[in-house]
Structure 1
Amino acid sequence: MPWFVERSEEIAPTRIRELMEQAVSEAKSRICPHPKRVLLLPPDITRMHSGAGRMTEILYEILHKECDVHVIPTLGQHEPHTPEQNRAMFGAIPNERIHAHHWIETVVPVGTVEADFVREATGGAADWAIPIELNSMLMKEPWDLIINVGHVVPHEVLGFANHNKNYFIGLAGKSTICASHIAAACCGIENNLGTLTTPLRACYNKAEQDYLGGLPDFYIQIVMARSADDRLVHTGIYVGDDLETYTLAARQSREQNIKVFEEPIPKVVCVMQEDEFVSTWVANKAIYRTRMVMADGGELVIIAPGLKRFGEQEEVDRLIRKYGYVGTARVMDLYRKNADLQDLAHAAAHLIHGSSEGRFKITYAPGHLSREEIEGVNFGYADLSETLRRYPPDRMKEGWNTSPGGEEVYFIPTPSAGLWSTRKKLYERPTGYEC
């Protein structure tokens, strides 16, 4: 069970500081009474709206006077933060205390989730082992206390972020990320979304049990929801060192972050914030989180003023431009035939996740990519200025809106913070999935 839980309609900022102090106090009594070296593992800037960066800053404020405190944003294969991004995300934490994870250069081998376990967990959809490579600073340096801070929200690979996602994606190496993501894609994104224990989550739980049992770590799990006045506020803080800490937070997220509809929606408009979403690798969360509610033949419009590339790394960007978002069958055919996709299997998984399978139209209104670039990866293109006039985000609230032109659309200002689905798609799950 969690060490403690705070749940309310809105957790005030002053109360969050008290909860961080309580978390540190509990850790001292349960893990290490006088920690000297502390590692903080928050999400990266693509979760800036979660407030996890401010919580990390508070933890640093509490601990740094008596401890040697370091921070590793759990980047996975995302681009390292600039100093400016570190300040935006983590406030007054000194930049030299924040260390960049690199999925190839800063990892060491830890173990393997064997193929037999993967095969059983995925029902045969994946039949390969998942090598476990993790950040070398995490695994090789001595730590008295490790604090994972994460936003629990519906997720396309693990059903719900967070918990040990911080390790096995956020601080993982290339072989782990690639083998994991293609396995999850083979299980089907719409089977994963909103599921408490996906096949890949079961594999990560196994890896944590087998290889990370000796870490002096615990989790701070954040749940957020929309308030009555349409603000994204903190509604749950779960603190503990076990799987139940995640599970209870995910159940609350399932209650608060999934909107269920009886009928599919023909037109959805989303906004991906300029300071968080600069690649389709992360901006495609607008597709992931709405695809289960989209009507056949409908249109998803994504307003992305910060969009300037497709992949987070140059080589992944190149693959997305080369192959495009062309649907599961075509991507898997390309994957079997092309060594570059096999080498970067997580990119193949991403191409699957980002396709509508031809079922609905995806239209991007990007800030920095041309029509030719957008259409070249199989998306529709819309001019950003014209789209902002047609669907002004500052004049719409989440839910049904009538645009200035008289069109009825469903508007989602922060799609990465939830999941939208029809009742049929959410509750018709494959046997064996813990929903």
Structure 2
Amino acid sequence: MQEIALTNERIDEKTLEQELHKWLGSFTKPLRKVLLLPPDVTRFHSKAGLIVQLLYKALQGEAKVEIMPALGTHIPMSGQERALMFGTEIPDECFLVHDWRNDVVKIGEVPSDFVAKVSGGLVSYPIGVEVNRRLMDPSYDLIVSIGQVVPHEVVGMANYSKNIFVGCGGQDMINKSHFLGAAYGMEKMMGRDNTPVRKVFDYAEEHFLGTIPLQYILTV
């Protein structure tokens, strides 16, 4: 698999489609089952919807493609919202719904001493790391987290592993990471990349996600 960075000021659909095909072609293992994790309609302008459509088009016929919007605590997308964001060519049965209360498994814990260190002693509780159970399903050959990097009041800059641990996460990480951000102070985090909450997400990814076939597609 190769890493591809498109840095043109404006990336047209044809170029994006070509680069996604190139990226998919760089995998040495056949892709038979793929899970896509885009944001919901609240990130409509991220181009994640178009990316999902292009990936589905490229993979259909060769792989079973499932799409689970990273809802976090948001309500499930309606059929109208799905059509608006992801088009009408993807069958309804391809879409899954993340349930942050009942559909997660605990894969680890960020220790309290680490949380205390990164927060400057403001918060000192352990944080359970929970993700949707599908992320730990070994039948997936590829899991793709798709989203947009934008300033965010809780983590500093949204997306990357936030899409996993909050968008596809459970209540302990969601609740405690948000409180950590509030305790540290929104005015010290907004638009910054190396915040206490981001460090918690980085710890969780480094320690607990190394065995799954996770890749990221990020827009700015």
Q: Please, which of 99, 121, 127 is the counterpart of residue 130 of structure 1?
A: 127
- With a CA cutoff of 8 Å and minimum separation of 6, indicate the structure with the bigger relative contact order: 2
Equivalent residue number for residue 20 of structure 1: 20
Equivalent residue number for residue 217 of structure 2: 220
Matches within 5 A, 1:18-417: 18-26=18-26, 28-29=27-28, 33-91=29-87, 92-140=89-137, 142-223=139-220
1:192 and 1:218 mapped to 2: Cα distance?
26
**Secondary structure at the counterpart of residue 180 of structure 1:** helix
CA contact (8 A) 2:145 2:164 kept: no
1:151 shift after superposition:
0.5
2:219 and 2:51 mapped to 1: Cα distance?
10
Counterpart amino acid of residue 4 in structure 1: I
1:142 and 1:175 mapped to 2: Cα distance?
27
Equivalent residue number for residue 247 of structure 1: none
Larger radius of gyration: 1
Counterpart amino acid of residue 18 in structure 2: E
* Cα deviations by residue, 1:247-297 (Å, 9 ceiling, x for unpaired): xxxxxxxxxxxxxxxxxxxxxxxxxxxxxxxxxxxxxxxxxxxxxxxxxxx
Counterpart amino acid of residue 6 in structure 1: L
1:117 and 1:141 mapped to 2: Cα distance?
30
Q: Report the TM-score when normalising by structure 1.
A: 0.49
1:140 shift after superposition:
3.3
Q: Report the TM-score when normalising by structure 2.
A: 0.95
1:122 shift after superposition:
0.9
* Cα deviations by residue, 1:187-208 (Å, 9 ceiling, x for unpaired): 1011111111111101111101
Counterpart amino acid of residue 21 in structure 1: H
1:138 and 1:84 mapped to 2: Cα distance?
26
CA contact (8 A) 2:135 2:212 kept: no
Counterpart amino acid of residue 25 in structure 2: S
Counterpart amino acid of residue 56 in structure 1: V
Counterpart amino acid of residue 24 in structure 2: V
**Secondary structure at the counterpart of residue 6 of structure 2:** strand
- CA-based RMSD of the aligned residues comes to 1.2
1:141 shift after superposition:
5.0
2:181 and 2:127 mapped to 1: Cα distance?
12
How many residues are aligned here? 218
**Secondary structure at the counterpart of residue 116 of structure 1:** helix
**Secondary structure at the counterpart of residue 35 of structure 2:** strand
Counterpart amino acid of residue 34 in structure 2: V
Counterpart amino acid of residue 105 in structure 2: V
**Secondary structure at the counterpart of residue 7 of structure 1:** coil
Equivalent residue number for residue 414 of structure 1: none
**Secondary structure at the counterpart of residue 192 of structure 2:** coil
**Secondary structure at the counterpart of residue 215 of structure 1:** coil
Counterpart amino acid of residue 7 in structure 2: R
1:154 shift after superposition:
1.0
State, as a whole percentage, how many aligned pairs show the same letter: 38
1:18 and 1:140 mapped to 2: Cα distance?
29
**Secondary structure at the counterpart of residue 109 of structure 2:** strand
Counterpart amino acid of residue 25 in structure 1: G
* Cα deviations by residue, 1:85-105 (Å, 9 ceiling, x for unpaired): 111111122111110101102
